[in-house]
Amino acid sequence: MASIRELHTQLVKKERSAVEITQEALDRIQALESKLHSFLTVTAQQALEQASAVDAKIAAGEEIGILAGIPIGIKDNICTKGIRTTCASRILENFVPPYESTVTQKLANAGAVMVGKTNLDEFAMGSSTENSAYQVTANPWDISRIPGGSSGGSAAAVAAEECVVSLGSDTGGSIRQPASFCGVVGMKPTYGLVSRYGLVAYASSLDQIGPFGRSVEDTAILLNVIAGYDPQDSTSLKVEIPDYAASLTPDLKAGKKLKIGVIKETFSEGLDPEVEAAVKNAITELETLGAEIHYISCPRFRYGLPSYYIIAPSEASANLARYDGVKYGLRSPDADNVLSMYTSTRALGFGTEVKRRIMIGTYALSAGYYDAYYLKAQKVRTLIKEDFGTAFQQVDVLICPTAPTTAFQVGEKITDPLSMYLNDLMTIPVNLAGLPGISVPCGFDSKGLPIGLQLIGKVLREDQLLQVAYSYEQSTTWHLQKAEIA
């Protein structure tokens, strides 16, 4: 499938219709879903109606936006009015939101065509999309392997060309890690840049909606549409939004010399040698393009993982208390009173990983342990922010691997939570600090599996981050490789 800009040109010149483009995506979904399981809900009828509306505008001579008629997938923890939103959980199996999330409303206003809701780890808790209550999504590069998580369905759908772009959410790396594993571009914006209204909460101080694309430009175009202040979100930032796509240029040498900092702590024990080699080659390429490379220490970087797995479960234990069988979602039939209904509903509706995190969070917040765990984790979070602040006094952008390995086999780590949590080692500190981060393809290992390069920017400097990512992308051919699905 072509890029957003190419498809837009075809639509405007009337070389193709929006209905034809949408039907191509729907046909692709139908052909591949038995192997990939990227989507939980396919919205074919609505998609074709949205596409027809775009075609009607073109026929009437009206101007259309660049996203009009473009097939897009939406992670199934983002509310869509009148369309089932499950969070890949049994507890929300039949939940149909009565309202629209801000991001999907913006996409609808822009004329984008939603082809379906994508699979995820239940309530976005996981790194492999194996924690979905319904199905395990496969990696398009090797269907015996996981696509990453929790936004694995969104990443796999873009990699398999089931849609042009997609939306995911990132709490500790859930956009960037699956982007790395699936060989696509994935971006976590600055906390507050994109409205979280309508995003089903996991950890409210960390969650952020962001875009997936097969190229940096497609990712930037999607970010243009979804970014911006929203009065319905109390954490939304009231800032001016630049045109991220318009300023992209392959030239890194324009203006003052760009300084890129390599985070030394990320090149240590546990990093796959092939991943390390690919990322170091990317660093060399950026230096060739004109960047000034510095080796930077973020000494508290490695404490991001343990602090995250106290803070995030603590927030989750509070956020998920609303699923009690009273207001909406699943209600257990085996209950004699309100308390037994509450406990049996949650026991029946939540999966193992969600229960584990609720229990960890509840314990960390309990009397006698709050100071020892939660408060201490928040202090570590502050120290991690300070490390990033010190680093950004010396450089413009930071760089490191997105994940310590490439995609692993389905079932390989599902029974070992600690091993699974280590997949987020490189991405979690970015969420704790509220910074923007992007993963771009930077190579393949000897098994033919994609490797991702993570770039981390200053607060609200998505423009600079995208520029560096675009410059690197245009100097390589990694993003042009396509998965051949067996």
d(CA 326, CA 347): 15
d(CA 348, CA 91): 8
d(CA 3, CA 99): 31
Instruction: Count CB atoms within 10 A of the CB of residue 344.
Output: 17
C-alpha angle 411-312-450 in degrees, rounded to nearest 5:
45
| Distance (Å) of CA 89 to CA 130, 306, 313 | 12, 26, 17
Extract the tokens encoding 457: 């920017």
- Three-state DSSP at 464 gives helix
Catalytic residue chosen out of the listed positions 38, 150, 154, 169: 150
- Evaluate whether 170 touches 179 at the Cβ level (below 8 Å): no
Nearest to 436 by CA among 391, 479, 397, 480: 397
Among this protein's residues, is 150 annotated catalytic? yes
Q: Which amino acid is at 361?
A: G
Extract the tokens encoding 322: 């609303």
The torsion angles phi and psi of 391, rounded to 5 degrees, stand at: -65, -40
- Three-state DSSP at 97 gives coil
Radius of gyration (C-alpha) of the chain in whole angstroms? 21
Q: Which amino acid is at 299?
A: P
Nearest to 102 by CA among 19, 226, 6, 188: 226
- Evaluate whether 76 touches 174 at the Cβ level (below 8 Å): no
Looking at 67-210, list the stretches that DSSP marks H as alpha helix, in order from N- to C-terminal side. Answer: 102-109, 152-159, 176-182
Distance between first and last Cα of the chain: 18
Catalytic residue chosen out of the listed positions 154, 174, 314, 471: 174
| Distance (Å) of CA 227 to CA 191, 208, 219, 265, 273 | 11, 11, 12, 32, 37
Chain centroid to Cα 337, Å, comes to 40
Catalytic residue chosen out of the listed positions 17, 38, 57, 75: 75
Among this protein's residues, is 419 annotated catalytic? no
Among this protein's residues, is 35 annotated catalytic? no
Which positions are annotated as active-site residues? Answer: 75, 150, 174
